[in-house]
Amino acid sequence: MRILQRAARGAADALGNESGVIRMARPIYEHALALLGRSNGIPWTINGAEFQIDPRHRHRIGRVYDAEVAAMLAPHVRPGSTVIDVGANVGVYALQFARWTGREGRVVAFEPNPVAAEVLAQHVRMNDLTGRIEIVRNAVADVAGIQTFHMAGADGMSRLGAPNPEIAGSTRSTPVRVTTLDEFCEQRALSPDWLLIDVEGFEFAVLAGARRTLARLGAQLNVVVEMHPDAWDVAGWSRSSGQTLLNQLGRVPLSLSGARDPLESYGHVVLRSGPPRNGGA
């Protein structure tokens, strides 16, 4: 398998990814990978660590994936920690969290997309992490119940509320069960150390449904959020209402990419526990 992958990369580097020869050979290569990796996956590095993944979904898992986020998380997520990954998709973060938290750690991965959840389950099995990653096939928001989820296969841009314009032409709708983090953590008597949120615009809804958990744990709970300002309106939120919520929660957004305004555009932020700066405006 490694020899096949190295040979393919070498040929693509030498001839060009879009050369006629590579385009002709690509279907054969894809079929060979799928056949050879059907049961145990293929070796794949994510930010320098090696995992086994389903070759059909390798385009969803970059070898360098959110490098600045991984660089911040890797040295701070301690062995034995409990992590909640909301919007886990096919597992790019869940796999890394399981590696960082070690055998005594625990990862809870929420993924409502049934196609993505199946791929995630494959990746958990392929990497012998069944006892360390729990998959919860629910969406997370501020109110528990049933909502409509708009999905396009395992695409990570699938979401609640309305089809993502980026994939609107290929989505289908399905009902999904929705929970809140307060409800989930209280039912499980769970005190997570880390919370990662990537829910395509519903991030403030997730935080609103975690008010009690955030208040109870305070600075013990480290929060990283992938912000999608262009989709907040779909979830009924705005910059103003989101900032008000953060003030109420006692959390200050700090950009992981160095942006001066962490709520202005798409990007990852850390929600530091502390008083708002300059009144939080």
Break the chain into its structural domains and give their ranges: 65-280
pLDDT value, residue 40: 87
Q: Assign 280 a pLDDT band (cuts: 50, 70, 90).
A: very low
Q: Assign 117 a pLDDT band (cuts: 50, 70, 90).
A: very high
pLDDT value, residue 258: 84
**Rounded CA gap, 199 and 52, in Å?**
25
For residues 171 and 281, the model is more confident at: 171
Tens of pLDDT, residue by residue over 66-97, are 999 999 999 999 999 999 999 999 999 999 99
pLDDT value, residue 38: 57
Beta bridge pairs of residue 197: 86, 225
Tens of pLDDT, residue by residue over 133-189, are 999 999 999 999 999 999 999 999 999 999 999 998 899 999 999 999 999 999 999
Side chain identity at residue 145, one-letter code: G
Structure tokens at 172: 């289908």
Q: Assign 274 a pLDDT band (cuts: 50, 70, 90).
A: confident
CA distances from residue 201 to 26, 58, 116, 118, 229 in whole angstroms, order as listed? 35, 25, 18, 23, 7
Least confident among 42-46, 173-177, 275-279: 275-279
Beta bridge pairs of residue 271: 223, 253
Share of the chain above pLDDT 70, in %: 84
The dihedrals phi and psi of 245, each to the nearest 5 degrees, come to -60, -45
Mean of pLDDT values over 4-21 = 61
Pick the CATH number of 65-280 from 3.40.50.150, 3.40.640.10, 3.10.450.40, 3.30.300.30: 3.40.50.150
Tens of pLDDT, residue by residue over 240-256, are 999 999 999 999 999 99
**Burial (CB count within 10 angstroms: exposed 0-12, middle 13-18, buried 19+), residue 218:** exposed
Q: Supply the pTM of this predicted model.
A: 0.87
The dihedrals phi and psi of 49, each to the nearest 5 degrees, come to -105, 140
Mean of pLDDT values over 94-111 = 98
Least confident among 22-31, 59-68, 113-122, 140-149: 22-31
Query: Left, alpha or beta for 200 (phi > 0: left; psi -120 to 50: alpha)?
Result: left
Mean of pLDDT values over 52-65 = 93
- Dump the DSSP string for the chain: -HHHHHHHHHHHHHH-TTSHHHHHHHHHHHHHHHHHTTTT-EEEEETTEEEEE-GGGGGGS-SS-SHHHHHHHTTTS-TT-EEEEES-TTSHHHHHHHHHH-TT-EEEEE---HHHHHHHHHHHHHTT-TTTEEEE--EE-SS-EEEEEEE-TT-TT-EESS--TTTGGG-EEEEEEEE-HHHHHHHHT---SEEEE--TT-HHHHHHTTHHHHHHHGGGSEEEEEE-GGGGGGGT--HHHHHHHHHHHTEEEEESS--S-TTTSSEEEEEEESPPGGGG-
For residues 29 and 131, the model is more confident at: 131
